[in-house]
Amino acid sequence: MDLDLPLIWALLIAAAVFLYVVLDGFDLGLGILFPTARSATERDVMMNSVAPVWDGNETWLVLGGGGLYAVFPLAYAILMPALYAPIFAMLFGLVFRGVVFEFRFKSSEQRRWIWDIAFFLGSLTAALAQGVILGAIVQGIAVEGRAYAGGWLDWLTPFSVMTGVAVVIGYALLGATWLVWKCEGPMQDHFRGLALTLMFAMLAMIGIVSLWTPALDPAIAARWFEMPQILYTAPVPLMVLGLAVVLFRSLNGTRDALPFLASLALFLVTFAGLGISLYPNIVPPTITIWEAAAPDSSLAFLLAGAAVLIPMILAYSAYAYWIFRGKVRPGEGYH
């Protein structure tokens, strides 16, 4: 039996990127929501709710980048120069966001505001840049031979700015619903209210992306609006609506974990919708996953390890979350 290794790897990389988006999504979302916290104690609780796990969450981004280099080197070699500025903006944002976890508690109380601002701006920049990168990929990349052929500002369009804003809002929703899960009392009520607002903003952005993306490319439009493909793609918008109802009701009720889980599911469905629009291209609109793939010997060598190691990673990552389960209370942390 011949395995379609490029396809398997495309699914694995997509899974890694998805895990990164939702896991670091709520970390970055917290940072985006940092200015809405009403006291220093609330900010401490926010940070401590992710401090033990953020590093593991961010590692999925390293797997996304490293995996792309390993299995789709051509895509990596074209996308990185094409997305030069937003990639570096993301990296700088992540540098600031990441060090704040340690620096904030080491600085004196009087100077802590500097790190609060760094955490907010770092998270916001990283989220915005990731959204812009997404938009820039979806709208297409100019390629000539085996190299990027566009200018160094091609990524900047109204569409990519819009997707940037969409991702910021989406991450903020994940962050707010995470806090609903991990906090209690007035702080939980505060973020429950914010999450409701963010939910409507997120649904509006999903609507705009869903109409704008097909307008970019008739081939994408055909997948979503023409028979018979519509029979396969119609469940996506229907699931978005269903999840919106679940999210709305859970935010108005007293459930703690459900809003976060419903937000995750909402991300999963929209991510799948994105996959439907782009498949089988990895560098739209010209390069497919099979054209960009490394030889099968490379893909098989890494797949053998991934088959053993990824289940282990999922197991011990889940274990780490399990250890730090439950509500976060003020004053916890090792600092």
Partner 1 sequence: MEFSAVDLARFQFAFTVSFHIIFPSFTIGLASFLMVLEGLWLASGRDVYLRLFKYWMKIFAVAFGMGVVSGIVMTYQFGTNWSVFSDKTGPVLGPLMGYEVLSAFFLEAGFLGIMLFGLTRVGPRLHFAATCMVAFGTALSGFWILSVNSWMQTPAGFSINEVGQFVPENWFEIVFNPSFPYRFVHMMLAAYLTTAFVVGAVGAWHLLKDRSSDAARVMFSMAMWMAALVTPLQIVAGDMHGLNTLEHQPAKIAAMEGHFEGEEGAPLILFGVPDMEAGETRYQVAIPKLGSLILTHSLDGRVPGLNDFPPEDRPNATIVFFSFRVMVGIGFAMLGIGLLSLYLRAKGRLYDTPLFHKLALAMGPTGFIAVLAGWITTEVGRQPFTVYGLLRTSDSISPVDAPAVATSLLVFIVVYFIVFGIGTFYMLRSMAAPPDSGDADLGGEPTRAAGVTPAFAYRDKTTPSPAE
Instruction: Please give the residue ranges that form the binding site for partner 1 (CB under 8 A).
Output: 51-53, 55-56, 58-59, 61-63, 65-74, 76-81, 83-85, 87-88, 91-92, 94-96, 98-99, 101-103, 106-107, 146-149, 152, 294-295, 297-298, 301-302, 305-306, 309-310, 313, 316-317, 320, 323-324, 331-335
Distances (CA, A) of 9 to 79, 140, 158, 177, 186: 17, 21, 32, 31, 45
| 295 backbone dihedrals φ, ψ, rounded to 5° | -60, 155
Smallest separation, CB 42 to partner 1 (Å): 16
By beta-carbon proximity to partner 1, the closer residue of 113 and 316 is: 316
By beta-carbon proximity to partner 1, the closer residue of 241 and 322 is: 322
| Cβ atoms within 10 Å of 171's Cβ, excluding its own | 32
Pairing mode, strands 281-283 and 147-148: unpaired
Smallest separation, CB 196 to partner 1 (Å): 30
By beta-carbon proximity to partner 1, the closer residue of 56 and 140 is: 56
DSSP calls for 189-235: HHHHHHHHHHHHHHHHHHHHHHHHHHHH-HHHHHHHHSTTHHHHHTH
| 145 backbone dihedrals φ, ψ, rounded to 5° | 65, -125
Q: How far is CA 45 from the centre of its chain?
A: 22
CA distance 219 to 226: 10
Smallest separation, CB 181 to partner 1 (Å): 17
By beta-carbon proximity to partner 1, the closer residue of 41 and 252 is: 41
By beta-carbon proximity to partner 1, the closer residue of 101 and 181 is: 101
* Residue found by looking up tokens 């990185």 in the block: 80
Smallest separation, CB 55 to partner 1 (Å): 4
Smallest separation, CB 268 to partner 1 (Å): 21
Smallest separation, CB 299 to partner 1 (Å): 8
Q: How far is CA 242 from the centre of its chain?
A: 21
Let me know: does 320 contact 53? Beta carbons within 8 Å. Answer: yes
Smallest separation, CB 151 to partner 1 (Å): 9
Let me know: does 151 contact 176? Beta carbons within 8 Å. Answer: no
DSSP calls for 257-293: SHHHHHHHHHHHHHHHHHHHHHTTEEETTTEEHHHHP
By beta-carbon proximity to partner 1, the closer residue of 73 and 140 is: 73
Which runs of E-coded beta strand occur in the chain? 143-144, 147-148, 281-283, 287-288
By beta-carbon proximity to partner 1, the closer residue of 87 and 173 is: 87
Smallest separation, CB 195 to partner 1 (Å): 25
By beta-carbon proximity to partner 1, the closer residue of 233 and 286 is: 286
Smallest separation, CB 210 to partner 1 (Å): 29
By beta-carbon proximity to partner 1, the closer residue of 144 and 184 is: 144
